[in-house]
Chains A and B, each alone.
Chain A
């Protein structure tokens, strides 16, 4: 276990290194002059030189990179080119919307995929089982932004139960209003991600049904379903843990689009705005945080899987 943890940790650190280098280089391989591009065509040479100074573009690439990474270790992700505000503090502020949105989405996805996924596997070949699995296939093919629009049409336009857009200005000082405005976005991401997860749960359950231990339990007098629930489901849970990393990545991607649709002041919307404005230092910081987060989640999920699966624990 310790050896595995160390190997996996080395892979994580290597991943973070590669990710940071890739992000850094991609934002610098521009043919031509970044400073010129940022300053625009109507700028004086002095302005361009100023920007170059401010971004440290006169230094060699390696020095620029080390400078950036040293800042990251101090908790300083750089500052916006346009407003001069600190990227770290802006990310912290926007995270107050995106993190709750992500947690709600994941909860909804799990709540709906686990029972329906198992059910659709157990009722396989019958009308209800087929309907569930066709439903999951279809929902998994829906573009998340359109799913959001449809939910807005039903719950905001027709029924008028929930707000169609926006987030309370006072933020979490108005918890009820904040929660209400996050409900539809979370439901959108949760349903689409949940549909993908449900397909996975279904095939994991079907695999569990075929295992010897389930058959043995059934031979010892349990009904097939009882055997599956007692002995099969823990294994289904285990395989679900392995795809949680993918799910988190999916939710981040969903949040970028959905925050735009619902005009939520979160990290995704900020990223879209900064990419459009070509605020490169800010984009660089944001991308590092997002990919770093995905990599760390993958690391935690792998360790968790190792830790809770007794077979894997013993083998190392």
Chain B
């Protein structure tokens, strides 16, 4: 047990040791904390319309200025981070469930089943997330649930494609065989030996998937298929400020920067996780193994 905790701490230490990992972690934590704080407190009420206060330039007390109806942009951004976190986490959960189920079906079942799942995954991967979202929106109308489901489905398939071969590989290793010999049921074996071993590959994908979710929320809300206009959302804010872009170009800067930083952080976190969990890099001081930064075989880029 202590060995396991130590392993986890080392793994986090390695992540923190990478500048990309540190940046990713910090920004993600800031966004999540902001979302939580905005539930209780924002500098101004993000829904408060005050026409006399329109288009105030950044300064005190409106740090980032106000929009065309006098709402405080910083408060809108803070409240909007809730939507972003909700979509990223929701899509992450759905992608995990779909991805792991498809990967397990495609790796652990009878041969005909495995191969049909593999073909199905190859086909589904051709559907871009936005197209899935449009398909669902055409029937049910746009909403945040549509965004969450479409990213979840789109990225779940992606996770399945990357995790499936990994699961197959681990399946043939000795400790799984030993587990089976010691009387573990297939499900127990899956939970105890298989999933922990494919977790690194999977977490990296999840991090990238959440980045896609943040972008998709912004894009779909901009198009009018995401957050309802009454909800605070970075994408909606972009759409709203765009109408006055020729007069007040500066205001568009803020929501865009918020989205870019969040997506960048999730992308870098994914990259750093890949580096920190790569078993070929864990023997850091081994002279036969190139240190970090040396040229080595980079796994095929997936995103």
Q: Mark B111-141, 1 if CB is under 8 A from A, else 0.
A: 0000000011011101111110011111111
Contact with A along B235-262 (1 / 0, CB 8 A): 1001000100110010010011001110
Please give, as numbers and ranges, the residues of chain B lying within 8 Å of A19 by CB-CB distance. 123, 126-127
What's the Cα separation between A36 and B196 when bound, in Å? 50
Indicate if the CB atoms of A153 and B249 lie closer than 8 Å.
yes
**In whole angstroms, what is the CA distance A138 to B211 when docked?**
12
Cβ-defined partner of A14 (8 Å) among B123, B129, B219, B238: B123
B139 CB to closest chain A CB (Å) equals 5
Contact of A210 among B139, B256, B297 (CB under 8 A): B297
Contacts of A291 in B (CB 8 A): 126-127, 131
| Residues in A whose Cβ lies below 8 Å from that of B285 | none
Tell me if B225 is interfacial: C-beta within 8 Å of chain A: yes
B139 is contacted by which of A26, A261, A298 (Cβ under 8 Å)? Answer: A26
Bound-complex Cα distance A29 to B134 (A)? 15
| A287 partner, pick from B131, B256, B295, beta carbons under 8 A | B131
Pick from A27, A138, A200, A272: contact of B223, CB under 8 Å: A272
The verdict on A137 contacting B222 (CB below 8 Å), with A19-B126, A207-B297, A278-B138 known, is no
Which residues 82-130 in B have Cβ within 8 Å of A in the complex? Answer: 119-120, 122-124, 126-130
Proximity string of chain A (130-166) to chain B, C-beta cutoff 8 Å, 1 when within and 0 when not: 0000000110111111100110110001100000100
Which residues of chain B are near A170, meaning CB under 8 Å? Answer: none
Nearest neighbor of A125 in chain B, beta-carbon distance: B293
Q: Number of B residues whose C-beta is below 8 Å from A? A: 50
- Chain B residues touching A, majority SS: helix
Contacts of B249 in A (CB 8 A): 153, 157-158
Asked whether A283 and B127 contact (CB < 8 A) given A146-B260, A203-B301, A257-B219, the answer is no
Bound form: Cα–Cα A307–B135 in Å: 35
Distance in angstroms between the alpha carbons of A137 and B120 in the assembled complex = 32
Partner of B267, one of A141, A158, A243: A141
How many residues does chain A have at the interface if contact means C-beta atoms less than 8 Å apart? 60
B181 at the interface (CB under 8 A from A): no
A295 and B125 CA atoms in complex are apart in Å by 10
B151 to chain A: closest CB distance in Å? Answer: 12
A290 at the interface (CB under 8 A from B): yes
Docked-complex contact B259 and A143, CB < 8 angstroms: yes
| Residue B176 CB within 8 A of the other chain | no
Task: Give bound CA distance, A87 to B256, whole Å.
Answer: 36
Chain B residues with CB under 8 A of A278: 138-139, 141
B126 touches A15 (CB 8 A): yes
Q: Which residue of chain A has its CB nearest to the CB of B271?
A: A137
Most buried by A among B223, B224, B252, B298: B223
Q: Which of B128, B222, B261, B267 contacts A145 (CB 8 A)?
A: B222
Q: Is the CB of B238 within 8 A of A140?
A: no
**CB neighbours of A30 from chain B (8 A):** 139-140
Q: How far is the CA of A257 from the CA of B301 in the complex (A)?
A: 25
Sample 26 A-B pairs with CB under 8 A, ordered by A number: A11-B123, A15-B122, A18-B124, A26-B135, A30-B140, A141-B261, A143-B215, A143-B263, A149-B238, A149-B245, A149-B252, A157-B249, A164-B246, A196-B303, A199-B301, A210-B295, A210-B296, A253-B129, A253-B130, A261-B242, A275-B134, A275-B137, A275-B225, A278-B139, A295-B123, A295-B126
Q: Which are the 3 A-B pairs with shortest beta-carbon distances?
A: A146-B256, A141-B264, A141-B263
Known: A15-B122, A253-B128, A275-B134; 18 extra A-B contacts, CB below 8 A, are A14-B119, A26-B136, A27-B139, A141-B263, A145-B238, A146-B260, A150-B256, A158-B249, A164-B246, A199-B301, A210-B296, A249-B128, A250-B128, A260-B223, A280-B139, A290-B131, A294-B128, A295-B126
Contact surface of A with B, Cβ cutoff 8 Å? 11, 14-15, 18-19, 23, 26-27, 29-30, 124-125, 137-138, 140-146, 149-150, 152-153, 157-158, 164, 196, 199-200, 203-204, 206-207, 209-210, 243, 249-250, 252-253, 256-257, 260-261, 271-272, 274-276, 278, 280, 283, 287, 290-291, 294-295, 298
